[in-house]
Amino acid sequence: MENARQLVLFSAIAASGLLLGSTGQVPPEVASTRPPGMVFIAGGDRTYTPPAGELVSAVVANELTDREKLRKWFCLIEKRAGKQTLTEAQVETKEGPLYRLLAIDGAALNPDQRQQDDARIGKLMKDPRPLQRLKQSQEEDELKLQNLMSLMPEAFVFDYDGMEDSLLRVKFRPNPAYIPPTYEARVIHSLTGTILIDSEHERLAKVTGQLTNRVEFGYGLLGRIDSGTVEISRVEVGPQQWKTVFINIHFSGRLAVFKTISKEQYERRSDFHTVSSDLSLSEAKDLLVSRIPSPPQNLQTSK
């Protein structure tokens, strides 16, 4: 259950770290490799390559439009939980995300472990209130993230930084003229890093960022974040449908800004399939039982 709620946050952090800001000029080697669709005719024989901030703005608009479609998904998840690696099948429902444990450290569950996990699911069938509370927390965080994004247009400076494989690379750093109005905005504004963009589809493929400075709240009395790194990768799973397939988050400090966020998260996702938007818990349970794949030994992140 933690996977879905944390994924929402960091997918949005990746997007919010890309919003409009000041930018430098486009290097010639980047302009020459840009797809024709990314070059705008300014008049006569002259051409104009848009500033990095304009491209990023288009990317973010596409990401937010995709999120607004509110599709629900089935997928496989491999995540670290303490010293263990867990493999799960998860399906999103109108009550909240339901998962079924498939393997621990690459080994299928023994009969006792399977019985315990089935009992956990059976308890949720009788009392879905934990999932409903999780869903409510997700909605509250979604609203907070949307408010954060509305504050981001002047938060970052963007510069083209060449190509990586077939992806366009853009650097971002805090805009020193921007004054974050909230604790959450201060954390986002402290990130510096690199974005990889599929310029043909104007979609986010990867974002890596690190905290540039220690962030204190209430002069350190309310908490602090000493250091942090974020790495997120996304791939196209259908026409105009992109999903996050890799999350690697590390923050050290003594404050969790969002109520559903953890300081550590390492997760790989694969095998995405859309499901009905009004899927019930009982239908989700049947789907999880009927679609038990062999536990993946090594889920690879697409680049």
Q: Please give the structure tokens belonging to residue 60.
A: 């973010």
Give the mean model confidence (pLDDT) for residues 271-288: 91
Comparing 22-36, 184-198, 251-265, the range with the smallest average pLDDT is: 22-36
> Average of pLDDT values for 190-204?
91
- In eight-state DSSP terms, residue 36 is G
pLDDT in tens, 53-105: 888 888 878 877 777 677 889 999 999 988 999 999 999 888 888 999 999 99
The predicted structure's pLDDT at residue 156: 87
pLDDT at 261 exceeding the cut of 60? no
In this predicted structure, the answer to whether residue 37 has a pLDDT above a threshold of 90 is no
> In the prediction, which pLDDT does 55 show?
86
Reply yes or no on whether the pLDDT at 218 is more than 90. Answer: no
* Average pLDDT taken over every residue of the chain: 76
**For residue 208, pLDDT beyond 50:** yes
102-129: per-residue pLDDT in tens?
A: 999 999 999 999 999 999 999 999 998 8
Per cent of the chain over pLDDT 70 is: 70
What is the DSSP secondary-structure string of 146-208? HHHHHTGGGTEEEEEEEEETTEEEEEEEE-TT----SHHHHHHHTEEEEEEEETTTTEEEEEE
Is pLDDT at 150 greater than 70 in this prediction? no
Give the pLDDT confidence score for residue 220 in this predicted structure: 66
Phi/psi region, residue 120 (left: phi>0; alpha: psi -120 to 50; beta: rest), is alpha
Q: Is the dihedral of CA 282, 283, 286, 292 positive or negative?
A: negative
Categorize the per-residue pLDDT at 146 as very low, low, confident or very high, splitting at 50, 70 and 90. low
* Model pLDDT, residue 182: 79
Spans of all domains in the chain: 2-41+48-290
Residues 6+ apart with CB under 8 A from 238: 272, 274
State the amino acid at position 138 in one-letter form.
Q
Burial (Cβ within 10 Å: 0-12, 13-18, ≥19) of residue 84: exposed
Better-scored residue on pLDDT, 38 or 152: 152
Task: Please name the amino acid found at residue 30.
Answer: V
Burial 216-239 (b: 16+ CB within 10 A, else e): bbeeeeeebbeebebbbbbbebee
* Residue predicted with more confidence, 234 or 132: 234
The number of angstroms, rounded, from the C-alpha of 119 to the middle of its chain's C-alpha atoms is 31
How much is the pLDDT for 171?
A: 94
How far is 121 from 128, CA to CA, in rounded Å?
A: 10
pLDDT at 95: 86
**Residue 230 phi, psi (nearest 5):** -135, 130
| pLDDT one-digit tens code per residue, 222-260 | 777 888 898 989 999 888 888 889 989 888 777 544 444
